[in-house]
Structure 1
């Protein structure tokens, strides 16, 4: 007779359960060894930046975040520009599988599809780079970018990230006092800015970052822009020029781009894709913080140690930039329907977002002058 509370067959059921549990436990124990046997996923990347540039450092920072967050299950190695392909050849190399991924800017693909340069090459319709990234994530930009790459047959997955501060007008032999001073200058820039500076009368040469200073030194360029105090300093701009014009609308809202070969990316486990997505956003903010720290130090030291003179670009030049930009994008939009689509999407988002920002965010100039201006220099709290 069975004991109270027990059912016939309980011992048999229990034996089956324990046997099954043992098998399942063995499978759980064996699972890590299967992963270990396969080894980590290794990717070879290239940036579009010289190894000494802080931009290459940003690329390495992103790779390290992914490598760390995956516990080494994904291992990304980042090579500098030119290690495998020239800087402007990154998109083709990643799309074709020569490289598994890369780090650059969308404006470098301007020759493939002009609408790609709308991610950062221009005034941003009063948005800064962080607001443009907000448009990309929440305002339809991500879907439009995927559509753009599909339209040119690029086998890539793109993650714009890393909001850049406003870029200088550039390095010159003498200060720019009016828009006419740009007329006839042999000038370096990229993206839609090629058309804008051409419209301002310059003879434009689109060179990658690592080639600019040598071109200035040899007289192949009269003036050039690149990006920021840290990059400009380490690349050697103060060695060939002592005049830098700050503030411009030609690249007011640019960001970096993380590129994956789509076939390689699609083959990754979903968990690893989720880690990458979150690593992009973590790296984006970390890059922004590091830039504030490093750019401000180099900006100060270029004045105190390198004898560089910084000037603000006159408002008349800025206004002329906007007029020429409008002419350029109107022409591009008439020629290219997807350019028009991206443009309309950005303007609609910017109208709402910048109105909110202008009404909400207090100006900080008054605070700066209060503490650090001529009258505030002796203030003690």
Structure 2
């Protein structure tokens, strides 16, 4: 290369370097970051999948792009039930799922999703925010270097889809049933053979005969999954998932390294999404149920009293055993939950329940 060519080339490189530096400086100065959120939900899945994307968009917009969240749906980056592990091992900065999916790590995590005969979603939010739930949740997740926040509310869920009608406890013996968390433990005590799997896998398992029954969320999601194509007996409501929350889990180290305003944005966006998802399900569950019944011939049923009573007994036994656990954090979270539930039952049973009963009996338009 002659001197003139060399000068021209190096000059171009210098100009290019200056331009790149000039373009990059504002982003660096603003501290812009891109985080990955892995989820347990199928892409664009009603309620939870849409909610995960909406939460990511909220954080990105509220931070003015200083923290951009890229969403990876179930299986896109990691298998759905390995989402939490992806945050723990650093493959992702966030996961969106349900805490009871990780009960193998700590039985205490069950309490931050849904508990048989336990809190409704509003009661759960009250415990988390005002009665010490968040602090204990933080202690449990500290063991794994992550932090959790409520990120969505499905409300009281459906009891599930069954090939055959249930006539009592004898109908449950050996029944192959998809049900996660403490609810799954209750069904196992009642005689079912219980397994857990991601929502996107349920239809195939029912269709192939690997499952005899399954519960997931409720009409809104179940319609989208097409479960009515295999089973027609649909039981409402669930007694093991009275108020289920989704969670956003973040890497604790990376979360705490954020400026205070970005930490606040993540927390506030989670709360906003918790409320919006609740409204989404409140409106779309009854619409979907009408479609299931009128267009797909689904039969809506309630669990027999024998199952409800046995389920309550099994639930109490499981929760009592957790309260007596040798694991200090499991014991602590169970005791906190029981105490908070006792407080909030007073409001529900003196106020909400009598009101709903009166509206049902006496009011119509």
Per the alignment, residue 330 of structure 2 pairs with 339
Q: Secondary structure at the match of 1:259?
A: strand
Deviation at 1:166, TM superposition (A): 1.6
Tell me the distance in 2 between the aligned counterparts of 1:124 and 1:317.
13
The change in CA–CA distance for 1:311 and 1:124 in structure 2 (over 3 A counts) is closer
Tell me the distance in 2 between the aligned counterparts of 1:111 and 1:351.
27
Q: Secondary structure at the match of 1:264?
A: helix
Tell me the distance in 1 between the aligned counterparts of 2:304 and 2:351.
27
Tell me the distance in 1 between the aligned counterparts of 2:280 and 2:202.
24
Deviation at 1:315, TM superposition (A): 2.8
Whether the aligned pair in 2 keeps the contact of 1:156 and 1:262 (CA below 8 Å) is: yes
Larger radius of gyration: 1
Deviation at 1:360, TM superposition (A): 2.7
Give the stretch that moved more between structures: 38-47 or 262-271: 38-47
Tell me the distance in 2 between the aligned counterparts of 1:36 and 1:337.
44
Per the alignment, residue 194 of structure 2 pairs with 204
Per the alignment, residue 134 of structure 1 pairs with 126
Tell me the distance in 2 between the aligned counterparts of 1:322 and 1:261.
37
Per the alignment, residue 145 of structure 2 pairs with 155
Deviation string, structure 1 residues 198-238 (Cα, Å, up to 9, x no partner): 10001111111111110110000111111111111111101
Q: Secondary structure at the match of 1:77?
A: strand
The reply on whether 1:170 has 2:160 as its aligned counterpart is: yes
Whether the aligned pair in 1 keeps the contact of 2:117 and 2:315 (CA below 8 Å) is: no
Per the alignment, residue 27 of structure 1 pairs with none
Q: Secondary structure at the match of 1:159?
A: strand
The reply on whether 1:348 has 2:331 as its aligned counterpart is: no
Q: Secondary structure at the match of 1:364?
A: helix
The reply on whether 1:275 has 2:265 as its aligned counterpart is: yes
Deviation string, structure 1 residues 215-263 (Cα, Å, up to 9, x no partner): 1100001111111111111111011111111112211122010011122
Whether the aligned pair in 1 keeps the contact of 2:117 and 2:312 (CA below 8 Å) is: no
Whether the aligned pair in 2 keeps the contact of 1:52 and 1:234 (CA below 8 Å) is: no
Superposed counterparts of 1:188-337, under 5 Å: 188-335=178-325, 336-337=327-328
Per the alignment, residue 111 of structure 1 pairs with 104
Tell me the distance in 2 between the aligned counterparts of 1:183 and 1:130.
34
Whether the aligned pair in 2 keeps the contact of 1:162 and 1:284 (CA below 8 Å) is: yes
Per the alignment, residue 4 of structure 2 pairs with none
Per the alignment, residue 59 of structure 1 pairs with 52
Name the TM-score, length of structure 1 as normaliser. Answer: 0.84
Deviation string, structure 1 residues 42-62 (Cα, Å, up to 9, x no partner): 111111011142111110111
Deviation string, structure 1 residues 4-59 (Cα, Å, up to 9, x no partner): xxxxxxxxxxxxxxxxxxxxxxxxxx9x9645655621111111011142111110
The reply on whether 1:123 has 2:113 as its aligned counterpart is: no
Whether the aligned pair in 2 keeps the contact of 1:66 and 1:74 (CA below 8 Å) is: yes
Deviating runs (4+, > 6 A) in structure 1?
A: none
The reply on whether 1:98 has 2:109 as its aligned counterpart is: no
Deviation at 1:178, TM superposition (A): 1.5
Deviation at 1:120, TM superposition (A): 2.9
2:66 corresponds, among 73, 77, 83, to: 73
Deviation at 1:148, TM superposition (A): 1.0
Tell me the distance in 2 between the aligned counterparts of 1:358 and 1:79.
41
The change in CA–CA distance for 1:260 and 1:41 in structure 2 (over 3 A counts) is same
The change in CA–CA distance for 1:113 and 1:263 in structure 2 (over 3 A counts) is same
Whether the aligned pair in 1 keeps the contact of 2:174 and 2:192 (CA below 8 Å) is: yes
Per the alignment, residue 35 of structure 2 pairs with 43
The reply on whether 1:183 has 2:173 as its aligned counterpart is: yes
Gaps of 5+ in 2: 1-21
Whether the aligned pair in 2 keeps the contact of 1:163 and 1:256 (CA below 8 Å) is: yes
Tell me the distance in 1 between the aligned counterparts of 2:44 and 2:208.
21
Give the stretch that moved more between structures: 361-370 or 338-347: 361-370
Tell me the distance in 2 between the aligned counterparts of 1:174 and 1:124.
24
Per the alignment, residue 143 of structure 1 pairs with 135
Tell me the distance in 2 between the aligned counterparts of 1:136 and 1:105.
15
Give the stretch that moved more between structures: 104-113 or 342-351: 342-351
Tell me the distance in 2 between the aligned counterparts of 1:61 and 1:180.
44
